[in-house]
Chain A
């Protein structure tokens, strides 16, 4: 096996999952919304990309549409859910993911049902070798990841980000201080879903073929493990968590070929995942990275004030 291709493949997946982890960070880490249907928005993005690119539209347009469609779905899902208590948001989003997957499995006219749908490479007419295409995918994914990272960093270190964090702590108190938490929650879900949708588009573009079985709830839970490991409400945590978990995933898959075990070695990674989460929650409940206070320029005034008095 070509080792370089494997490394590049790993990098692509790390980037895509880092995007998903960042998107969950907007919803759960900053706004406190437990979205257990992440895979649905990832899937919506992937299928939107697959269908629109089959029309021969340019890849950047397809990626933008993937984000938009996922974001609209995010808004639709949030509308009934936000009137309910937070745990119901988890149930609604979880079942939304299942419904979407089963819908796609059952239909044939739109996205090929269980047979899946082939996706053209974004770099198909650029005369690239397969290896160059993989390189191009790595660059595309990581450039978008960096852009999203910077975007979220700026957004979360603004008065807007402060309101989101406030909603996570106590949404009624935010409302008493004059901000409608419903609007902010819907926006947070839209932003998070849009990022997940773009990640889905990148996934479809890279893997070149998608079917409903790729979008099981396991994807959602993997993203949750990444965020909890890295540390919610810290953008670095989301990315580092994704990189570690993806590395771990691959590592345990390689390791199982070299281990003689009395049971199916496939299960090793799940057992290790479980242990990882237990030890993490016991000894480092905040994750690897802690939340950093906001940087808006206001904190600089405090130092002046404290030194003068």
Chain B
């Protein structure tokens, strides 16, 4: 069953058509990879799904509910989470606060309950803090929990950006290059975590250039080129397709991924 259906999305910026009738589906409980050359429209497509960009045409539906035209916070409400390619952290807030801000259904985030339901949100804060610390443990950032996010290195910022999406307790996560700028071992560890979440029923749509990792973990791959989805299939099918090499990998079929 498809959890996310993207149907015929087109988007132009001025005269530049970035997306041209792009369509794809993500089956429930899978890791679906999105690959393609730079400038092929992957990130724009992800932003469109999450309501950060309004499409010129086409629809997005999530669990059979049309979500095109909704604002990002409404899309978050239906159960999606999003992680930026370039981290957009709250640099003056602590690493812990960056995670806690992502928490879902937090009572104390509304004006009245922040003042009048103190006991309730303080209890919830404690529980959420433990969840946040588990995520930081996974990302190896426990010792930095109370440091401002601005003090993190580039790779650590990327990890925290992914951590926020995990903190949001979503049904499905859109990730833009989670393994970019992260050392290979940690990159794999992140994917292993995503894989265990997948086994718990979460779905993923992931843009990734690190094919050696992606092809090990993905259930299904879409390849984009010039704003269209040009190729799709299981990792095995994709690496056997010459188009994959001609437009994206650039090496012969016998290289890296055959083994």
Interface residues in chain A, defined as those with a beta carbon under 8 Å from any beta carbon in chain B: 151, 154-155, 158-163, 165-166, 168-170, 172-180, 187, 291, 293-294, 296-302, 305-306, 309
Instruction: Check B82 against A176 for contact (C-beta < 8 Å).
Output: yes
Q: What is the 8 Å Cβ interface bit string for chain B, positions 105-124, against chain A (1 contact, 0 not)?
A: 01111110011001001100
B90 part of interface (Cβ distance < 8 Å): yes
Chain A residues with CB under 8 Å of B121's CB are: 158-159, 296
User: Which B67-112 residues have a C-beta within 8 angstroms of A?
Assistant: 71-73, 76-77, 82, 84, 88-94, 96-97, 100-102, 104, 106-111
Instruction: Check A299 against B71 for contact (C-beta < 8 Å).
Output: no
Instruction: Check A173 against B71 for contact (C-beta < 8 Å).
Output: no
- In the complex with contacts A175-B72, A178-B77, A179-B109, A155-B114 CB distance below 8 A: yes
Instruction: Check A172 against B73 for contact (C-beta < 8 Å).
Output: no
Out of A151, A159, A166, which one reaches B93, CB within 8 Å?
A166
Out of B76, B126, B129, which one reaches A177, CB within 8 Å?
B76
Interface of A is mostly: helix
Chain A residues with CB under 8 Å of B89's CB are: 169-170, 173
> Distance in Å from the Cβ of B167 to the closest Cβ of chain A?
9
- In the complex with contacts A159-B106, A160-B114, A178-B168, A173-B96 CB distance below 8 A: no
Instruction: Check A176 against B115 for contact (C-beta < 8 Å).
Output: no
Chain B residues with CB under 8 Å of A294's CB are: 93-94, 97
12 A–B contact pairs at CB < 8 A? A159-B108, A160-B111, A163-B109, A169-B90, A172-B52, A175-B71, A175-B73, A299-B129, A302-B133, A305-B142, A306-B142, A306-B145
- In the complex with contacts A158-B114, A159-B109, A177-B168 CB distance below 8 A: yes
Chain A residues with CB under 8 Å of B168's CB are: 177-178
Report the nearest B residue to A151, measured CB to CB: B115
- Complex: how many Å from CA A298 to CA B95? 12
- In the complex with contacts A293-B146, A296-B125, A309-B142, A159-B100 CB distance below 8 A: yes
> Distance in Å from the Cβ of B28 to the closest Cβ of chain A?
21
Instruction: Check A159 against B114 for contact (C-beta < 8 Å).
Output: yes
> Distance in Å from the Cβ of B129 to the closest Cβ of chain A?
4
Chain B residues with CB under 8 Å of A160's CB are: 108-111, 114
Instruction: Check A162 against B129 for contact (C-beta < 8 Å).
Output: no
Report the nearest B residue to A167, measured CB to CB: B90
Chain B residues with CB under 8 Å of A159's CB are: 100, 106-109, 114, 121, 125
- In the complex with contacts A165-B92, A172-B88, A299-B146, A178-B97 CB distance below 8 A: no
Number of residues of chain B lying within 8 A (CB) of chain A: 47
User: Which B139-192 residues have a C-beta within 8 angstroms of A?
Assistant: 142-143, 145-146, 164, 168
Instruction: Check B93 against A162 for contact (C-beta < 8 Å).
Output: yes
Report the nearest A residue to B121, measured CB to CB: A159
Instruction: Check B126 against A180 for contact (C-beta < 8 Å).
Output: no
Chain B residues with CB under 8 Å of A158's CB are: 108, 114-115, 118, 121
Instruction: Check B126 against A301 for contact (C-beta < 8 Å).
Output: yes
- In the complex with contacts A178-B77, A297-B126, A299-B146, A187-B71 CB distance below 8 A: no
Chain B residues with CB under 8 Å of A162's CB are: 93, 97, 100-101, 109
Chain B residues with CB under 8 Å of A172's CB are: 52, 72, 88
- In the complex with contacts A187-B111, A301-B126, A306-B143, A179-B73 CB distance below 8 A: yes
Instruction: Check B102 against A177 for contact (C-beta < 8 Å).
Output: yes
> Distance in Å from the Cβ of B91 to the closest Cβ of chain A?
6
Report the nearest B residue to A301, measured CB to CB: B129
Task: Beyond A158-B121, A170-B90, list 13 extra A-B contacts (CB 8 Å).
Answer: A159-B109, A159-B121, A162-B93, A162-B100, A173-B89, A176-B72, A177-B101, A297-B122, A298-B100, A298-B126, A299-B94, A305-B133, A306-B143
Report the nearest A residue to B145, measured CB to CB: A302
Instruction: Check A176 against B50 for contact (C-beta < 8 Å).
Output: yes
- Complex: how many Å from CA A297 to CA B50? 32
B130 part of interface (Cβ distance < 8 Å): yes
Report the nearest A residue to B95, measured CB to CB: A302
A-B pairs, 6 with minimum CB distance: A159-B108, A160-B114, A178-B76, A301-B129, A169-B90, A298-B129
- Complex: how many Å from CA A159 to CA B96? 12
Report the nearest B residue to A294, measured CB to CB: B97
B128 part of interface (Cβ distance < 8 Å): yes
Report the nearest B residue to A179, measured CB to CB: B73
- Complex: how many Å from CA A155 to CA B2? 43
Interface centre among A159, A168, A187, A294 (most CB of B within 10 A): A159
B240 part of interface (Cβ distance < 8 Å): no
B199 part of interface (Cβ distance < 8 Å): no
Instruction: Check B52 against A176 for contact (C-beta < 8 Å).
Output: yes
